[in-house]
Structure 1
Amino acid sequence: KTCADKVIYIENEKLGHFHSEYYQEALSSIIRERKPTLTVFAHSSPTYDLAPALAVALDIPAIMSCADFRFENGKLISTNPVYGGKINAEYSFDTSNGGIVTFLPGSIPVEDSGLSGEIEKIQFQFDKEFEEKRFIEFVEAAAGEIDITQADKVVAIGRGIKEEENMQMIKDFADAIGAVVGCSRPIVDAGWLPKDRQVGSSGKTVKPKLYIALGISGAFQHVMGMKASDTIIAVNKDPNAPIFAVAHYGIVDDLFKVVPALQAKIAELKG
């Protein structure tokens, strides 16, 4: 999708792999010259290092981990999850001299704005070397047996499953509807499922046709990884669980009653 008037491509072999000092030096030069109202990054491990240092070097404000934003009277006002996503806080800064924000993955939808996307190449030369640290190698994480980001159907389980021995019931239900099993962070922390099954800002971002959330309260970090799903069904016995705010369909009941009932109905329909 074309979402920019112009794409600036900075050419220098030292930028081939992420190195915060070289990236900071190159971007500082471009930002000082172009004077953008806002410099935006996806919130990630590299930008968690780069964005604050860049703000200090340019003497401009920065807000990290934004979930949403708006402009009012020349100010950027961001919405940020705090206290583990239980509440949101708003922060702001004046954009007259520019500013930096990082956005949580999945928080801002991508839309095709029909812009040209013209590519401008810039040959950049560094005035000094940064030898305090250097790139050694890129180690790719081992791929899991299932890639949940490619699944059409995901059944995700949270702390509502209570005990590890109850996981088999969820796996059987997922198999019955042709889905893969995902989870929220507490399940990974307990060691009941591997990290590659975790959905959320610190796990995978998924967009299946069907996402069934079982016993998941809906902390902001989890919602960031699944809210773009085509259809979301939530099952939780707490009627005030945040997951219902993003669900298309909700069942307020105990998952240990709902899942067996659904399995029985599926078996009946299959004959």
Structure 2
Amino acid sequence: MRMKALCLVILLSSIHGVRSQDSIRLILEFKMVHVVDITQPTNPRISPCMLLVGTKRSVFDDYYRSLRYLGYRGIATDRIYDDPNDIQDAVSGVTSDQIYTDFDKQTLITGSYFWNTLYTKSEPLPSIDWTIQSQKKKILDQECQMATATFKGRHYTAWFAPSIPVNAGPWKLNGLPGIILAANDDKNEISFTCTKLTMPEKNAPRIVFAKNATLISAEKFEITRKAFIQDPKAGMALANPAGTLMAVTVSPGAAASQTKNKRRSLNNPIEKE
């Protein structure tokens, strides 16, 4: 019953969105699995992420930065890791990109923290040539349908929920007649799985991009990213969109697992082209 009410709220918001502020209307939590080092396929980086959706905009980001975006502070936003590789990635700032999508302006902004500074690049919202398939399955009690497409050098299978008619999805995946709740590439090097779907509490913040971002050209953005990957320790602070430092908590089992996994190289980006 709650999900039916949720879908109704989204539909009404879409109809009246022009007259209202574009506040967060839907919160989706995702588990993102990325084989960042192709020499270690069994040692992927596992990142909790969030997709915050309004009527005209969406933001996909690291889970902990998203919590702060939603106004949470304190221990709830500390990062807790078991894998020492993930600890090193977090401390050096190697986390998922922040993806801001403006469906009205057909614009997509990618943001990454390099050396404690949020750098961004802007591009037209990509058009993905999806082929909708007949297969269906349920995800979080939502009836989902399969779609496939080649995007950024990878062939993806996605599962979208027509009952939630929102043109959004994890990362840069979009363009289906329903919100995308799961997706993976055909090599199983990248996957996104929605683990929770909720409505925000009252007085949810508006979806706006970080004001402290430094906009640079796409070419300079990639050059900066490569320089950062080669020397991430040059900036050891991890910041959130508000500009304050974020804590990294090491779990008791992290030291014991220090020798279990080798340090990962970043040789397998999400975007292959």
Could you state the TM-score of these two structures normalised by the residue count of structure 1? 0.20
More helix by share: 1
Q: Which has the higher contact order (CA 8 A, sep 6+)?
A: 2
Structure showing greater radius of gyration is 1
Q: Which has the higher strand share?
A: 2
